[in-house]
Amino acid sequence: MKLKVVLEPSEEGGYTVYVPSLPGCISEGETKAGALENIKQAIELYLEPVDDDLSYGSRAEILEVAV
């Protein structure tokens, strides 16, 4: 999966990086490379299913879609 990220210099130093298509998915790093490595981990955690995601209503349908 490929996602676009926005990398900006931080006023305090280092870099802030976020994923516009994943609201709230943001990270930082001292270097560009560090920030990009950190956002990869943040994306993985963001997309990781949690127990709440696994509880469905009795009339729920589970489908797969390609994006």
For the segment 10-22, what is each residue's pLDDT rounded down to a tens digit? 999 999 999 999 9
Q: What's the token pair of residue 55?
A: 């509880």
pLDDT along the chain (67 residues), means of 10: 96 96 97 98 90 74 80
pLDDT at 6: 98
pTM of the model: 0.75
Sketch the domain layout of the chain as residue ranges.
6-49
pLDDT at 53: 64
Strands (DSSP E) found in 19-61: 26-29
Strands (DSSP E) found in the chain: 6-9, 15-18, 26-29
